A and B are shown apart, each in its own frame.
Chain A
């Protein structure tokens, strides 16, 4: 039928369905009108009134019968058929509760797991960015430089902004500004912040929920202290006070005026972790000479008729101009690069969640195969029912439709249970997701997730129902009706079911290989020596940004005092500080070799990680000294400037030589703002520590004492304790409070949990893939069991005959096991081939093991073979104990 026709008839049919009472009334009126006219006509022909009326009614062939036939003409068939099928389906499923329970449970597992993973995938990749102009926003960065990553320096931004008139509608800036201390609300509170250029919100198309946007003069150097509140901070700390705009708050001891509250959800996209709750105007003087990587992210919106290539070309010109000015800070091939904002956020999230989504999709595929197999087995016993229906006039298409209704009903039931289970365990599921995984929306079961689950259920029902339905509807009427036992079609559906079981084994092999590789990576990582001893260590941090800590000396004095008091606590063995804890990331800085080293000339910019520590740091974390000495208390502002480096750095820059006594100048290539005032002498070499993660050989790190640098405003304490570390926390807290009641103690945890957290992504992959693999194996084993045991039941008679003819139990066993082995063999071969092709996709999720690790592959193949044989065990036993007499009589 033409679509146009549907356009007409669908409303008509809906009307028939929904307005049947009115339709009946109209039908009644119409027929009564007819009878009256007809009566008048007969009267006009000379008939008596009563006789005329009788004739008129007679002509109509009985008013009620005619009405019924008119209603028939209007009946909306497919909807009524569907309701009928639904009733029938519910009845059939209730009659075979065992089948229904297994099928629904299998599907619930599959659909529930998919829904859970989808809620994560949705939050990461699909949720729209909460900015009206999001699709027009590009991340503007440079490539070909020595830093990598997207962040740029203030000088680059200043140069680009001058260029902006040509290509950009807006060129805005985001600054990872760290945290601010909010006081005046009971305990001092550390709040994550972001700096934004004053046109940032306008570019995104976002308007504050309360108050106003930043004014241009607020972005100028020396502008007023103004701040915007994130929605959740406003709710939690300010009780969602509608009059908060205009109030003054104290941040880092300075008064700030609240000018706006940002809309809910604005902070969801994780530009920073943890999410920012305070937004300041970022102030870049046009005359800046800071070319170091300033932790700035540049975002731009192109003018309407400017292409990406044009914009990149014009900004690359500015970079070349900067290179002329700072030849050491820019590489010759460096150029500007634009990528859509969304692409950057997706890149931050990586592809692992998508791979997990693919894996959980395979689990559902196995579940589908299993239920299809069950349905096929069941359909063999329903051949007679179908034959009767065909004989009574049901078309094939009609039977397929009815069977599909049943399978979709099963799937929707399974889906509902799956979603309910997902909902019930959602907090648990989310707890496994690594906290720092970049996501754009919130993790939640929203309309999109529910819609996905529903659509998935329908598709699932059709996928596993279609093949059995087509098979069942193709019945041979004569044979089916004549046959006493439901056996016809068993050959066809038997082969089909064996193929399905092999397929299930193949897919589960892929999943289990993936799981095994992920688990192995995880196991290897937990075995990696981080380079320090994390046991019995408590850690917590402070940020020294208030007026009291305005000078580097005051900060060092505070740290000295704090360390002295913490060391004196009864439970403390040792106490130390470091600017950034091991395993939590790097902070690259440029330096140069004062004397060169033969191959690297003096002054050449080189990059290394930097950590600011207290003298006892190495000893407190049990980091071994390789050569020279570590810091002492006399390495302070009065002493000569010194630095300790790690082995990797020593080997890289002084291969085969002793670096102790050499001089380096930290920050020198980055301009005066970042540079040390004088070079430092290397006094010692320590063992390598995994600085950014267990998977990366962190190395190439320099350590400087906090008493000898101005970059000492953030410190993480390391307290080695004599008892379980958390027991020391209350004492540590009161110690800090006694020194400064307004200083918040941040992120207390044990060093062991820092190590564990650094593995959270790996753990996430291993747990999920492991769970999917186990689920797949279980379902596939049930599938194999189902096929073999059904086949044994079908062949009871044959087995009886064979035994009568002299077959031994061993022969029977070989017969059944042979069938299972064939099935498993095919599945495993196909699975190994598929896994070989697919596991390379997860290369980035692996550590210390190749995607095609032969040992893993063979171990998994053996595991699957054993599982398949185990699944054959019960049916084999049953076959071996067939009593020939009973089997033969039964027929």
Chain B
């Protein structure tokens, strides 16, 4: 299982912001969605997910709301704030530049 420290610094934040940008959801759903969309490649342990969510909330990038879930239980739903959306754009931008630069380096033909 890959730990978040294996991810490039800040990548987990970006992934979480991106997932929450699509629709507000609770922590459990976020972990499911992460697994689905990354095809199990990016596995984030549940133990790392929650501190990361709390950190994003503290930064003001996401906000949480208690709602009654489809199971009739009270659950904490996270959604993106305006600030978070801006942060996501910034990080996605950085990420785009970083990954294209990295792949250009990787694709260099060996002399």
Q: B27 → chain A, closest Cβ, in Å?
A: 5
Judge if A31 is at the interface, Cβ distance under 8 Å.
yes
A66 & B50 in contact (Cβ 8 Å cutoff):
yes
Q: Give the distance in Å from the alpha carbon of A9 to the alpha carbon of B73 in the complex.
A: 29
Q: A13 → chain B, closest Cβ, in Å?
A: 7
Q: Give the distance in Å from the alpha carbon of A72 to the alpha carbon of B52 in the complex.
A: 10
Q: Give the distance in Å from the alpha carbon of A16 to the alpha carbon of B47 in the complex.
A: 21
User: If the complex has contacts A5-B83, A37-B28, are A31 and B54 also in contact, measured as CB distance less than 8 A?
Assistant: no
Judge if B51 is at the interface, Cβ distance under 8 Å.
yes
Name the one of A5, A36, A37, A69 contacting B51, with C-beta atoms under 8 angstroms.
Answer: A69
Judge if A4 is at the interface, Cβ distance under 8 Å.
yes
Residues of A contacting B71 with CB < 8 Å? 37
Residue on A nearest B51 in the bound complex, by CB: A69
Residues of A contacting B81 with CB < 8 Å? 8
A33 & B60 in contact (Cβ 8 Å cutoff):
no
A33 & B28 in contact (Cβ 8 Å cutoff):
yes
Please, what's the 1-or-0 string for B20-47, where 1 marks a CB less than 8 Å from any CB in chain A?
0000001110010000000000000111
Residue on B nearest A56 in the bound complex, by CB: B46
Q: Give the distance in Å from the alpha carbon of A163 to the alpha carbon of B69 in the complex.
A: 80
Judge if A59 is at the interface, Cβ distance under 8 Å.
yes
Judge if A65 is at the interface, Cβ distance under 8 Å.
yes
B58 & A12 in contact (Cβ 8 Å cutoff):
yes
Please, what's the 1-or-0 string for B44-65, where 1 marks a CB less than 8 Å from any CB in chain A?
0111101110110111100000
Name the one of A5, A8, A29, A60 contacting B46, with C-beta atoms under 8 angstroms.
Answer: A60
Judge if B74 is at the interface, Cβ distance under 8 Å.
yes
Residues of B contacting A13 with CB < 8 Å? 58
Main secondary structure of the interface of A (DSSP, over half): helix
B60 & A8 in contact (Cβ 8 Å cutoff):
yes
Q: Give the distance in Å from the alpha carbon of A38 to the alpha carbon of B74 in the complex.
A: 16
Judge if B75 is at the interface, Cβ distance under 8 Å.
yes
B47 & A60 in contact (Cβ 8 Å cutoff):
yes
Judge if A74 is at the interface, Cβ distance under 8 Å.
yes
A30 & B47 in contact (Cβ 8 Å cutoff):
no
A29 & B76 in contact (Cβ 8 Å cutoff):
yes
Main secondary structure of the interface of B (DSSP, over half): helix
- Contact count A vs B, C-beta below 8 Å: 75
Judge if A62 is at the interface, Cβ distance under 8 Å.
yes
User: If the complex has contacts A29-B76, A33-B26, are A62 and B59 also in contact, measured as CB distance less than 8 A?
Assistant: no
Residues of A contacting B28 with CB < 8 Å? 33-34, 37-38
Name the one of B48, B52, B54 contacting A74, with C-beta atoms under 8 angstroms.
Answer: B54
User: If the complex has contacts A4-B83, A73-B58, are A31 and B75 also in contact, measured as CB distance less than 8 A?
Assistant: no
Q: Give the distance in Å from the alpha carbon of A27 to the alpha carbon of B60 in the complex.
A: 17
Judge if A483 is at the interface, Cβ distance under 8 Å.
no
Q: B108 → chain A, closest Cβ, in Å?
A: 38
Please, what's the 1-or-0 string for A1-45, where 1 marks a CB less than 8 Å from any CB in chain B?
000110011001100100000000011011101101110000000
Please, what's the 1-or-0 string for B67-79, where 1 marks a CB less than 8 Å from any CB in chain A?
0010101111000
Q: A74 → chain B, closest Cβ, in Å?
A: 5
B58 & A31 in contact (Cβ 8 Å cutoff):
no
Judge if A102 is at the interface, Cβ distance under 8 Å.
no
A9 & B58 in contact (Cβ 8 Å cutoff):
yes
Please, what's the 1-or-0 string for A48-86, where 1 marks a CB less than 8 Å from any CB in chain B?
000000000001111001100110111000000000000
Interface size on A, residues (CB 8 A): 28
Q: Give the distance in Å from the alpha carbon of A788 to the alpha carbon of B84 in the complex.
A: 59
Residues of A contacting B47 with CB < 8 Å? 59-62, 65-66, 69
Q: Give the distance in Å from the alpha carbon of A12 to the alpha carbon of B50 in the complex.
A: 17
Q: Give the distance in Å from the alpha carbon of A59 to the alpha carbon of B54 in the complex.
A: 18
Most chain A Cβ neighbours within 10 Å, of B31, B58, B73: B58
Residues of B contacting A65 with CB < 8 Å? 47
User: If the complex has contacts A30-B76, A38-B28, A69-B51, are A61 and B45 also in contact, measured as CB distance less than 8 A?
Assistant: yes
Q: Give the distance in Å from the alpha carbon of A316 to the alpha carbon of B57 in the complex.
A: 70
A9 & B46 in contact (Cβ 8 Å cutoff):
no
Residue on B nearest A33 in the bound complex, by CB: B75
Residues of B contacting A72 with CB < 8 Å? 51
User: If the complex has contacts A37-B28, A59-B45, are A70 and B54 also in contact, measured as CB distance less than 8 A?
Assistant: yes
Q: Give the distance in Å from the alpha carbon of A689 to the alpha carbon of B5 in the complex.
A: 94
Name the one of B26, B51, B69, B73 contacting A70, with C-beta atoms under 8 angstroms.
Answer: B51
Q: Give the distance in Å from the alpha carbon of A782 to the alpha carbon of B9 in the complex.
A: 55
Residue on B nearest A11 in the bound complex, by CB: B60
Q: A79 → chain B, closest Cβ, in Å?
A: 13
Q: Give the distance in Å from the alpha carbon of A31 to the alpha carbon of B59 in the complex.
A: 20
Residue on A nearest B26 in the bound complex, by CB: A33
B58 & A16 in contact (Cβ 8 Å cutoff):
yes
B50 & A29 in contact (Cβ 8 Å cutoff):
no
Residues of B contacting A4 with CB < 8 Å? 83
Give chain A interface residues in 453-493, CB to chain B under 8 Å.
none
Residues of B contacting A26 with CB < 8 Å? 66, 76
Residue on A nearest B47 in the bound complex, by CB: A61
Q: Give the distance in Å from the alpha carbon of A653 to the alpha carbon of B77 in the complex.
A: 99
Residues of A contacting B26 with CB < 8 Å? 30, 33
Q: Give the distance in Å from the alpha carbon of A61 to the alpha carbon of B69 in the complex.
A: 25
Residue on A nearest B45 in the bound complex, by CB: A61
Q: Give the distance in Å from the alpha carbon of A220 to the alpha carbon of B95 in the complex.
A: 87
Q: B53 → chain A, closest Cβ, in Å?
A: 8
B74 & A29 in contact (Cβ 8 Å cutoff):
yes
Q: B4 → chain A, closest Cβ, in Å?
A: 11
B51 & A34 in contact (Cβ 8 Å cutoff):
no
Residues of A contacting B51 with CB < 8 Å? 66, 69-70, 72-73
Please, what's the 1-or-0 string for A495-508, where 1 marks a CB less than 8 Å from any CB in chain B?
00000000000000
A-B residue pairs in contact (CB < 8 Å), sample of 19: A8-B83, A9-B59, A12-B57, A27-B54, A29-B76, A30-B76, A33-B27, A33-B69, A33-B74, A33-B75, A34-B27, A34-B50, A38-B28, A60-B50, A61-B47, A65-B47, A69-B51, A72-B51, A73-B52
15 new A-B contacts at CB < 8 Å, known A29-B76, A61-B46: A8-B81, A9-B60, A29-B74, A31-B50, A33-B76, A34-B31, A36-B73, A62-B47, A65-B47, A66-B46, A69-B47, A69-B51, A73-B51, A73-B55, A74-B57
List 5 A-B pairs, minimum CB-CB distance, nearest first: A61-B47, A8-B60, A73-B55, A69-B51, A73-B54
Q: Which residues of A contact B (CB under 8 A)?
A: 4-5, 8-9, 12-13, 16, 26-27, 29-31, 33-34, 36-38, 59-62, 65-66, 69-70, 72-74
